[in-house]
Amino acid sequence: MNIFKTGARPWRYFDWRLFLAGLGLSGLGLLAVAATHNPEQLKKQLLSLALGLLVFLLAAVWDYRSVRRWAEILFCAAVFLLLVVLNIGYAAYGAQRWIGLGPLAFQPTELMKLALIFLLAKFLEQKQGRLNTLLDILPGLALAGLPFFLIYKQPDLGSAVVLLVIFLVMSFWGGMKPSRLFLLASPFLSVLALYALPLEPLTSWGVYLALLAALLWRFRLPCWEAGVYFILNLGAGLFSSFFWNSLSLYQRNRILSFINPDIDPLARGIRYHTAKSVIAVGSGGLFGKGIFRGALTNLRYIPQQHTDFIFSVIGEELGFIGAALTVLALFYLLRRIYQIAANASADFGRYTAAGILAVLGFQTVVNIGMNIGLLPVAGLPLPFVSYGGTALVVSWLGLGLAQSIAIHRQTLE
């Protein structure tokens, strides 16, 4: 339902600080894209921003609760588009992720993030905080698992992991205990214990499994449920080589080079992206080299500097001050969304805002982390800043939904 039909004055409750934070970040993104000296990309980003602002305004004044009745349809449509991508989508940068629309390209993965948020919000609303057993959790996990597999096949491991983060954050917000959250993530920890620890693999994995068994006993779970979690961890370790071999070569190289930088000590091969990004960020100093004056940016030493590594452009040309202001603006925006989620008047709005927070927050941490060498390269954009039409429009749509949740909390009260 359109909020104007209720006779309310939505702009009275409009969260200008949320809007201005997003607008400032998008403006900074335009400046950074312009610094990469590609006028065509800058033009497309301007058009995407204009469309994103229009979508934001429409979403802000529309009653977000009406999305509930369309949640299943939107999710099925997003799944269908992911299947289309796998069959007739076009490939770039080693992945098949886009559907061509004339001169434009559309990435269904971004739409799936919102579609999953809507359907999980409806699911959690119906559960009313009853996430006490594995059987309570499984339907929501299945909802995230299907698109995870389809996106993983593109391959796009980073975006696939985003869907699991959405599920975990929203489920926690919906009443899942931290112990359940840990147990759901434990198969991933089992793989880390087997491969990532600087110990003999079988020894570290055996110690981990023993600690897990003690925790399962401590949590007082039913025997069948404790058995399922233990078998999942056992299976994750035993079949980890199958998962590893299913990854693309460049994905395996990214993980290996992060765990062991000595694989490419001179950073001329698989560590090239990360090494050059770290150099660019560090070379900016306190105040930067000046906009359009960054040597590494101008000479295009950093691949994908307009998308995945946009933060390196900001660090080199605007320095520590510009990078710090970017981080502060992003976390301020995330804080505003957190407050909207915490104060929402309806469960559906609360869970939807939590899902939006999960997407934007996770992508922010991962993108900045990989730009400064703290995390492996994952191919996730920096929200509102990185070049990419679909990601920018969907981010503004998510912000518009958060705005709608905030407005309707006031008007309903």
Encode pLDDT of 191-231 as tens digits.
888 876 667 878 888 999 999 999 999 998 899 999 999 99
DSSP 3-state of 97: strand
Average pLDDT of the residues of the chain: 89
Phi, psi of 197 (to 5 degrees): -80, 145
Query: Structural domain tally of the chain?
Result: 1
Beta bridge partners of 101: 104
d(CA 158, CA 378): 5
Q: Are 284 and 318 in contact (CB under 8 A)?
A: yes
Q: Residue 16 corresponds to which tokens in the numbers above? A: 């200008």
Cβ-based neighbours of 39, under 8 Å, separated by 6 or more? none
pLDDT at 60: 93
Residue 9 backbone phi and psi in degrees, to 5 = -110, 95
The pLDDT score that the predictor gives to residue 1 is 47
Kindly tell me if the per-residue pLDDT of 91 is higher than 80.
Answer: no
Separation of alpha carbons 35 and 42, rounded Å: 9
Give the pLDDT of residue 4: 47
pLDDT confidence tier of residue 270, bands split at 50, 70 and 90: confident
Confidence band, pLDDT 50/70/90 cuts, at residue 301: confident
Q: Domain range for residue 70?
A: 3-412
Query: In this structure, how many other beta carbons lie within 10 angstroms of the beta carbon of residue 199?
Result: 11
pLDDT, position 7:
46
State residue 410's pLDDT score.
Answer: 60
Geometric angle at alpha carbon 252, from 246 and 255, rounded to 5°: 135
Residue type, 332: Y
- Say how many residues make up the chain: 413
**What pLDDT, on a 0 to 100 scale, did the predictor assign at position 411?**
53
Coil, strand or helix: which one is 42? helix
